[in-house]
Structure 1
Amino acid sequence: MHTKRFPLLVLTAAMLVGASSTSQAQETHEWTLVSPLTPAISYMALYQELANNISERSDGRLKINFLSYGQHPFSGAEILSAVRDGVVQMGNTADVYVSSMEPSIAFLGLPFLFDNLEQAKAAYAELEDPYYRQIFADKYNAELTTGFVISGSAIHANRPLNSIEAMQGQKIRVFGHESGEMIRLLGGEPSTVAFGELYTSLQRGTIDGALTGMDGARAARVYEVVDNNTWWNWSYPVEFTFVNQDAMEALPEDLQEIVREEASLINERIQTDRDIGTMRILIDSIEQYGITVSGLDVDTLEEFRTRTQPIRDEWLEETGELGQQAFSIYEQGLQ
């Protein structure tokens, strides 16, 4: 009698263990991904696609709710700390937004370091793992998942701002310490204006011009109220997406790999889109609004670079060994 019941007990126990394992395997997780950018930014749909792809590949075991500007309470500067503290599990922001909080992240936002986009991308590729990834992990409990470089930083105004003389007394909207100091050293007056107020501030003449990229210019419809683009390309901002390390480690390994793989795929697509998208928006603006585009000649560019040297010196002093590490990698890449 006992010999007949023993296998049945073993089978029943095994079924219960199997059911428990299946239940654990099907455990679901829900994250929130926040961005400071408006849905009008052309590549924002790719972040929604990232969230959708992760949910689909995980069979719904990891759902990511994507919230853009106006759908959450965080500024661009606050998103990094929100992820660090686990208030949200995933965040997207740019170096220019967090430069006051973490100056070392703003390296590619320093003025006039690079001659072109390819130089900036090469520098970022060398800095990504030993520098940026380490800073996010060590200081902000965050794992870097995407990082891409943006070109096309320009001044949008009612006249060309392509000389020191033209800059004198001009009130220019800026978006961080480095950009504000740059405008001041070049003879202008830096002004802080919220992105949502950019259109009316230019329209009313509260400011004379605005620093922003081409995506931002299009999203804010600035060429309805100003008609000049001065193509400085003074910096090459980096936009990041990062995940709270505790949230990542709480996922099963297969879900962790899905997050990393899908983020890498989306990152490649966004970088490719930005490589051509900035110029495409500029051409569309010329055709649609008839704007005038000008740049900096070689002598003026060198003068701007010289006048803004104190910003780079201050940054190196403030960031110490960490900043010197970035600068050494940058200089090696230029050789």
Structure 2
Amino acid sequence: MINLQVYSYGRPFYAMCEEIKEKTGGRLDIEVFLPGEAPWSPKDYLRAIKEGAVETAGCYPGYFSATEPVLVVTNLPMLMPPDPEVVEEIYDDIKDELFQPIFAKWDGLALCNWWFPFHAIGGPVPVVSWDSLAGIKTRVTGVEPADLIKMLGGVPVTVAWAEVPTALMTGVIDAVVTSGDGYYTAKLWQYEGFDYITLMEIACMPCSMIVSKTALAALPEDVRQ
């Protein structure tokens, strides 16, 4: 079961695309697919852009840690200062040198970014010691947070965000690593046994709007602008 209600950014995407359609006089009409509605998983978005299957995608770097590990530098647990504005300044200073060349390999260009709040750990127990998560199956999004969960005694399990509610209900996972926005949007505290959210400020996550350079170049100049 795919729970698309966990995607709080769906509404802004629809609104943005409607505004683009209006401002271009209907010449640019973008069809939005949230995760679970398209035949690609989030880790395949860059490949889908390169192959021309999609023209644009919102890419969360954690899903590309295996193929493009440099993209997850701001996701490394406890590396960035616990100040979102400072993290954003750091990202702006390095994005053109580090990240744009990586997106270009996949025929992509990052047009803009949006930020998730700092990630935390929520589940049946608070994190108060190095073995607090002993035996707790904890949802993660990549290798880096998985290593942190292992350090705390937990069992990391990779689960796509749309599948988190079902995974909690079926016992596939007991705990979740996600942003404050994720806890609020999906109301994870309503699930049985989900009693604590430990605000550890693990990492601050950018998400990039990647557009196909080929598709962008094919647009009329005024529409492209």
Specify every segment of 5 or more residues in structure 1 that has no aligned partner in the other structure, as ranges: 1-35, 258-335
- Alignment counterpart, residue 177 of structure 2, candidates 211, 221, 236: 211
Q: Give the counterpart letter for 2:42 in structure 1.
A: G
**Alpha carbons of 1:47 and 1:127: their partners in 2 closer, same or farther (altered >3 Å)?**
same
User: In structure 1, what is the Cα distance between the partners aligned to 2:34 and 2:169?
Assistant: 26
User: In structure 2, what is the Cα distance between the partners aligned to 1:199 and 1:42?
Assistant: 14
Are 1:199 and 1:221, in contact at CA under 8 Å, matched by a contact in 2? no
Residue pairs, 1:247-266, within 5 angstroms: 247-257=215-225
Q: Give the counterpart letter for 2:93 in structure 1.
A: E
1:130 matched to 2:97? The reply is yes
User: In structure 2, what is the Cα distance between the partners aligned to 1:37 and 1:132?
Assistant: 31
Higher relative contact order structure (alpha carbons within 8 Å, sequence separation ≥ 6) = 2
Return the index of the structure with the highest Cα Rg: 1
User: In structure 2, what is the Cα distance between the partners aligned to 1:236 and 1:38?
Assistant: 23
Normalised to the residue count of structure 1, the TM-score between the two structures is: 0.61
How far residue 169 of structure 1 moved from its aligned partner, in angstroms, is 2.9
Counterpart position of 1:81? 47
1:189 matched to 2:155? The reply is yes
How far residue 246 of structure 1 moved from its aligned partner, in angstroms, is 0.7
Specify every segment of 5 or more residues in structure 2 that has no aligned partner in the other structure, as ranges: none
Residue pairs, 1:34-113, within 5 angstroms: 38-113=4-79
User: In structure 2, what is the Cα distance between the partners aligned to 1:70 and 1:200?
Assistant: 13
User: In structure 1, what is the Cα distance between the partners aligned to 2:76 and 2:110?
Assistant: 21
- Give the superposed CA RMSD: 2.1
Counterpart position of 1:4? none
**Alpha carbons of 1:242 and 1:103: their partners in 2 closer, same or farther (altered >3 Å)?**
same
Are 1:217 and 1:223, in contact at CA under 8 Å, matched by a contact in 2? yes
Map Cα deviations across residues 184-215 of structure 1 (whole Å, 9 max, x no partner).
Answer: 12322112334344234434544331111123
* Aligned length, in residue pairs: 221
How far residue 72 of structure 1 moved from its aligned partner, in angstroms, is 0.9
* Greater per-residue helix proportion: 1
Map Cα deviations across residues 23-49 of structure 1 (whole Å, 9 max, x no partner).
Answer: xxxxxxxxxxxxx99354333222112
Normalised to the residue count of structure 2, the TM-score between the two structures is: 0.89
User: In structure 2, what is the Cα distance between the partners aligned to 1:65 and 1:206?
Assistant: 33
Task: Name whichever of 145-154 and 78-87 sits farther off.
Answer: 145-154
